[in-house]
Structure 1
Amino acid sequence: MGLADYYRTLGLRTGASFEDVKAAYRKLARKYHPDVNPEDQQAQDRFIKVTKAYEALLEVFYPDDDVVDDGPDDELDEAEDVSPVQTNPGLSEHEQKLKQDSYQQLNVLLKQQKFPRAIALVEGLAQRITHDSEVRQWQAITYQRWGRELITQGQLGKARIYLDKALKTDPLNKSLWVEINRDFQAIEQKLT
């Protein structure tokens, strides 16, 4: 499961704030908690999925586990720890470690809005680990975030280039298509 999937599981757009993630988790955790739905296996499975997505996103916002809110209640802390990076059996141990470290660095760079550095990092990782779909997804998201920033700076031609690169990098990502469509609409509005 990729980063965008975790946001989607919580009903959020990719890049939502920590407060939005926390609020969405609390709402869904209350709705699907096993104590509220003791006979409903689907609700319990959904609760586990929501909790795993929340914990994975916590790693994005607090990669060093310094100040982490474990959820709304102590009784909701039943799910196991989940790494936001998928284990790929096709990768060596060294490549998996490189991927995990790069993921954490990438999130820091994106939070700090250091998009050119983030692009350099993710492009280097994509050259090193060419067959990993999750790395391609990160690359596409990074291009899209940089494209959106370029729109706010009024660099519409350059923004269009990076948004196109994002679509070409991860063409099957539906949530990315939705976000990029919004970005293209923003470009059109600025042109009119």
Structure 2
Amino acid sequence: MDYYAILNVSPEADTEEVKQAFRQLARQFHPDVAGEGSRERFQQIRQAYQVLSDPEQRRRYDAQRQSSPPSNTSSGSSREGQVVIRTGSPSQAPLDSELLKEGIARVRAAWRNRQLPTAVAQAEALLKRFPNSSEAVHILALAYQRFGNYLIYEGRNQQAEAYLRKALATEPRNRELAFEVKRDLARLGIQA
């Protein structure tokens, strides 16, 4: 098995890069998240991380890897199961995009289940993970607005106002959001 390919890192990757790649892939392929069908892939990821994160095991693995003769594809041997190593940002972008989509889906699921504090926490974590994403900013602003609206119905007006103002501050140029927040603040008797 090519542990570098499994973690999608270069053989020159340092320990921190290996750790980050492992965490990202483990979140994506953990059987609790991706389903039972991902169990084998998750085991491979975990095994690759165990070897590459331990300096002594990695040294032995690298030595073995260099002494192994490359497979001869002209002799008709199968290339099935081989993994292509991709390094740099092109391979990172699709993975990040998928993680962002999954995070947004979790926030929306929390809304549907009326778990609004959870939705806010997940949206805040999503923006922390993807600070330059306009989608993450938008979903956080919506989470604040929905939670503020919910707090109005709960009669927790001070908290409602705080979350509604956070929504405005998070995405100040969103006219639709501003309209909704101003309407909610008006219900509290507050001018925006």
**Paired position in structure 1 for 2:114:** 113
**TM-score with structure 2 length normalisation?**
0.50
**Paired position in structure 1 for 2:128:** 127
Q: Structure 1 residue 170: deviation in Å?
A: 0.3
Q: Structure 1 residue 112: deviation in Å?
A: 1.1
CA distance in 2 between counterparts of 1:95 and 1:115 reads 25
Give secondary structure in 2 for the equivalent of 1:146.
helix
- Corresponding letter in the other structure for 2:96: E
Give secondary structure in 1 for the equivalent of 2:188.
helix
The one-character-per-residue Cα deviations of 1:59-108 (angstroms, maximum 9, x if unpaired) are: xxxxxxxxxxxxxxxxxxxxxxxxxxxxxx9x722211111111111111
**Paired position in structure 2 for 1:18:** none
**Paired position in structure 1 for 2:171:** 170
Q: Are residue 182 (structure 1) and residue 178 (structure 2) matched? A: no
**Paired position in structure 2 for 1:6:** none
- Corresponding letter in the other structure for 1:142: A
Matches within 5 A, 1:143-162: 143-162=144-163
CA distance in 1 between counterparts of 2:120 and 2:96 reads 19
Instruction: Give 1 or 2: higher helix fraction.
Output: 2
CA distance in 2 between counterparts of 1:170 and 1:96 reads 21
CA distance in 2 between counterparts of 1:120 and 1:145 reads 13
Superposition CA RMSD, Å? 1.5
The one-character-per-residue Cα deviations of 1:121-142 (angstroms, maximum 9, x if unpaired) are: 1101100100011110100000
Number of residue pairs matched by the alignment: 100
The one-character-per-residue Cα deviations of 1:14-54 (angstroms, maximum 9, x if unpaired) are: xxxxxxxxxxxxxxxxxxxxxxxxxxxxxxxxxxxxxxxxx
- Corresponding letter in the other structure for 2:95: H
CA distance in 2 between counterparts of 1:180 and 1:162 reads 10
- Corresponding letter in the other structure for 2:131: T
CA distance in 2 between counterparts of 1:129 and 1:122 reads 10
- Corresponding letter in the other structure for 2:176: S
**Paired position in structure 2 for 1:79:** none
Name stretches of at least 5 consecutive residues in structure 1 with no aligned partner.
1-88
- Corresponding letter in the other structure for 1:176: L
Q: Which aligned segments of 4 or more residues in structure 1 are displaced greater than 3 angstroms?
A: none
Q: Structure 1 residue 179: deviation in Å?
A: 0.2
Larger radius of gyration: 2
CA distance in 2 between counterparts of 1:128 and 1:112 reads 23
Q: Sequence identity, in percent?
A: 31
CA distance in 1 between counterparts of 2:99 and 2:135 reads 13
**TM-score with structure 1 length normalisation?**
0.50
